[in-house]
Structure 1
């Protein structure tokens, strides 16, 4: 879908990125992560030519991006940022419809698309006629994502989209993005400095430092097979076990047996979240339900621990 070949970019003589070689797969949720000033935001902005690369090639669907008119390129890519940038004197519906209106969609088609996206993003229809200042931060961010998706882009670019939100709202939006990615199958490239967010969202991780790619691969590969000491230290030696729990789900550890009592866990929940539930509820067995709320088994605390020890020993 998107390929970088020996890409370089400098600002006032300072190298922002150096000899980048990257491949973002179609339909994957890729996350760029790294230290401050590592070049991850610059890398993202070069994809839609908000920043022009100095040398090398960036190919989108096999075509060098400089051979495409910049407006055509950007219409094929949604873009969501931390500051959101909603138009303050436009309603929620008008903000979501920004790009479809520019593309001269019919009034009915625009209205249907706004309704569809508001439902997808969990926005109450009553918010349709409200203005940005009448929304919470989480609602504003959802509107920003809806606007980025409005014209059915092939790619969604996201630069620290949830960085200014409180932890509860941030977690809820991360869950929403995972669900939306599963439903739409869009290629998503997200920049974050939050390790736990990256591990929660990514199919593919790209770790950057000083304008270069240090390692790229699945989250599990970077955690269990770090290429350098920098990778190992970045993800935290002492927190490795907990972070590995975030990559595994309840479904893989549950027993298919009659339900236990208590508040149920979701089968798709991470083992890290399940561990928190065990601690909070002070119990050793919890029921598990599927996405439709149908009981499907139980999770035993001792199985979680024994399974983790066994798998780590095998790794």
Structure 2
């Protein structure tokens, strides 16, 4: 879907991105991660030409991005950022409709699309006529994502979209994005500096430093087969175990055919979260419910030692 071929970008004579080659597959959830100044946000913004690259080529759907009118290109790519950028004097409905209106969609089609997106992002229909200042930070961010998805883009670009939110709201929105990705199958490229967020969201992680790709792979590959000491230190040598547990879930690890009469955990709970439950409850077994709230099995503390991620 997106191909970088020997791409470089300089600011004031200094390379922000240097000789970057990267392929992002259609339908893949790719997360760019790295330290501040690693070039990850610059890389993202070059995809929709918010920043123009100096050298090399960038292809979108097989065509060089400079062959597109920038506005046409951006309408094919949704864009969500940390500051959200909602128009304060426009209602939620009008904010979401921004791109479809520019594309001259019929009013009925726009209204129906807004309804679909409100439902998709778990926002009540009554939010249509509210203004951004009447919403919580999490609700504003959901509207920002809805606006980015409004014209059914082929690619969704996200730059630190949840960075300003509290941990509970952030976790809920992360789960929503994973669900939306599974439902819609869109190509998503997200930038974050949060390691746990990257591990939770990515199909493929791209670790950058100094404007270059240091290593890329699945979260499990990055944690268990680091290319060098930089990668190993970045993901935290001392936290490797709990981060690996975050890649698995209780449903996959639970022993079928067993049950105990105790407060159960959902199958979607990560094994890292389950570890906290084991410690808090001072037990070595946890009952696990499936998505329909029916008994699925029992998770044993000893089984955590045998997990290898998803």
The two structures have a TM-score, normalised by structure 2, of 0.97
Residues 160-209 of structure 1, C-alpha deviation per residue, up to 9 Å, x if partnerless?
00000011110110011111111111100000000000000000000000
**Matched residue, 1:188:** 188
Counterparts of 2:179 and 2:59 in 1: how far apart (Å)?
28
Counterparts of 1:100 and 1:22 in 2: how far apart (Å)?
31
The two structures have a TM-score, normalised by structure 1, of 0.95
Shift of 1:263: 2.9
Q: Matched residue of 1:287: which SS?
A: strand
Are the counterparts in 2 of residues 93 and 129 from structure 1 also a CA contact under 8 Å?
yes
2:9 is the alignment partner of 1:12? no
Alignment of 1:43-82 (within 5 A): 43-82=43-82
**Matched residue, 1:39:** 39
Counterparts of 2:181 and 2:64 in 1: how far apart (Å)?
26
In structure 1, the gaps of 5 or more residues are none
**Matched residue, 1:236:** 236
**Matched residue, 2:131:** 131
**Matched residue, 2:250:** 250
**Matched residue, 1:118:** 118
Q: Matched residue of 1:113: which SS?
A: helix
Q: Matched residue of 2:163: which SS?
A: coil
Shift of 1:304: 2.0
Are the counterparts in 2 of residues 261 and 286 from structure 1 also a CA contact under 8 Å?
no
**Matched residue, 2:102:** 102
Are the counterparts in 2 of residues 248 and 270 from structure 1 also a CA contact under 8 Å?
yes
2:304 is the alignment partner of 1:276? no
Q: Matched residue of 1:243: which SS?
A: helix
Counterparts of 2:143 and 2:278 in 1: how far apart (Å)?
35
Are the counterparts in 1 of residues 245 and 304 from structure 2 also a CA contact under 8 Å?
no
Alignment of 1:217-232 (within 5 A): 217-232=217-232
In structure 2, the gaps of 5 or more residues are none
**Matched residue, 1:28:** 28
1:126/1:263 CA distance change after superposition, 3 Å:
farther
Q: Which has the larger displacement, 289-298 or 167-176?
A: 289-298
2:80 is the alignment partner of 1:92? no
Alignment of 1:151-230 (within 5 A): 151-230=151-230
Q: Matched residue of 1:37: which SS?
A: coil
What is the RMSD of the two structures over their aligned residues, measured on CA atoms?
1.2
Shift of 1:126: 1.8
Question: Size of the alignment, in residue pairs?
Answer: 309
Q: Matched residue of 1:116: which SS?
A: helix
